[in-house]
Structure 1
Amino acid sequence: MARLNAKSFALISPAMLVLVACSGSTTPQADPEETVQVEDSLSEEAEVAQISDNGPAAFAQCAVCHKVDKAEPQGIGPHLAGLLGTEAGSRGDYNYSPALKNSGIVWDAETLEAFIKSPQQTVSGTRMAFGGVADEVKRKEIVDFLAGLD
C-alpha cells in the first residue's frame, strides 16, 4: 500500500472533501483532538520535507567553492561529503589553514552550523573568506543536506 507524504496529502485531501460532499453520504465527524494530532503530524512532516527539498538549493552558494562529489575535481575549498564526524582540518584532501587544523573542532550539526553562520568568528584565521549565512533556516538546510551525504 502506498504511503502518502504531506505534499501528496495536501493535494489529495481537498479533492476527497469535494467527493465526500457531493456523494450525499453521511459519515461520522472526526474527534477534534484526533484532527489536531493529525494536523500537527502533517505540519512536522511538511517542515522536514521542505528542509530536505531546499537543501540542494541552499547549498548552491556553497557549491561555488565546495564539491560534494569526490569524482569532481577539487574546488577552491575542500570536498564536503562525509564531513560530519571528522576533526576540522584533518582530512588529507585539502591544504587547511593552521587555525582550522588546530581548532579542535569535530564537525557535527552544531559546530557546522556555527561555522556556516560565521566562519571567521568560529575559527579566527580560517582561510574561508565567506562572510557566513545569517538565515537560521537556510543554515539548517545546508547542514541537513551535508548530513545526508555521509
Structure 2
Amino acid sequence: MMKRVIMIGLTCAASIAGPAYAQDLAAGATSFKKCGPCHDVGPTGKNKVGPVLNGLDGRKSGTVAGYNYSDANKASGVTWNEESFLDYIKDPKAKIPGTKMTFAGIKNEAEAKALWAYLQQYDADGKTK
C-alpha cells in the first residue's frame, strides 16, 4: 500500500510540475523577444550584437568564441546559473559595471525566472536538453 501512495504522489507532482514548466518556457520565449535583437539561441544561434546564449547554464562570462567582450565582462568572474542570471538581468550595468550590454533589465522576478527556464534548456550546441 505504501508504494502505491508514493507512486500516486509522484505522479500528481509530475503532472503539476509539467504544465508549469511548459508555461515557464512559453513565458520565457515571449520574454526572450526583448533579448532577440542582440542575442541568439537555438541550433542556428550565432553571435550578434551580443553573444549567443546557448549553453549559458554553467558557462563563465566572457568566454564565447568569436565574440568581442568588454574587459569588464571577461574579468567579472561570473559563472552563469539561475542565481547569477537573476541577479544580473535585473540591472546588467549595476552587476557588471563597464559591460557593453545596454539593456535596462527585467525587474519582474517571475518573468526573469521564466526567461532563465527558457535559456537554460539549450545546451552549447543549441539543442534542447
TM-score bracket, normalised by the shorter chain, equals: 0.7 to 0.9
Q: 2:95 aligns with which of 119, 122, 141?
A: 122
Aligned 8 A contact 2:61 2:79 in 1:
yes
Structure 2 counterparts to residues 46-125 of structure 1, below 5 A: 46-69=19-42, 71-125=44-98
* Higher mean C-alpha deviation, range 84-93 or range 68-77: 68-77
Q: Which runs of 5+ in 1 are unaligned?
A: 1-36
- What is residue 136 of structure 1 aligned with on the other side? 109
TM-score by length of 2: 0.77
Amino acid at match of 1:55: G
Per-residue Cα deviation, 1:3-48 (whole angstroms, up to 9, x for no partner): xxxxxxxxxxxxxxxxxxxxxxxxxxxxxxxxxx7xx846554433
Task: Tell me the SS of whatever aligns to 2:89.
Answer: helix
The 2-side partners of 1:89 and 1:99 are apart by: 9
Q: Which runs of 5+ in 2 are unaligned?
A: 1-8, 124-129
Tell me the number of residue pairs that the alignment of Structure 1 and Structure 2 aligns.
Answer: 113
Task: Tell me the SS of whatever aligns to 1:115.
Answer: helix
Q: Report the RMSD for the aligned CA atoms in angstroms.
A: 2.1
How far apart are 1:140 and its partner, in Å? 0.6
CA separation of 1:73 and 1:132: change in aligned 2, threshold 3 A: same
TM-score by length of 1: 0.67
Identity %: 33
Aligned 8 A contact 1:66 1:75 in 2:
yes
* Higher mean C-alpha deviation, range 73-82 or range 133-142: 73-82
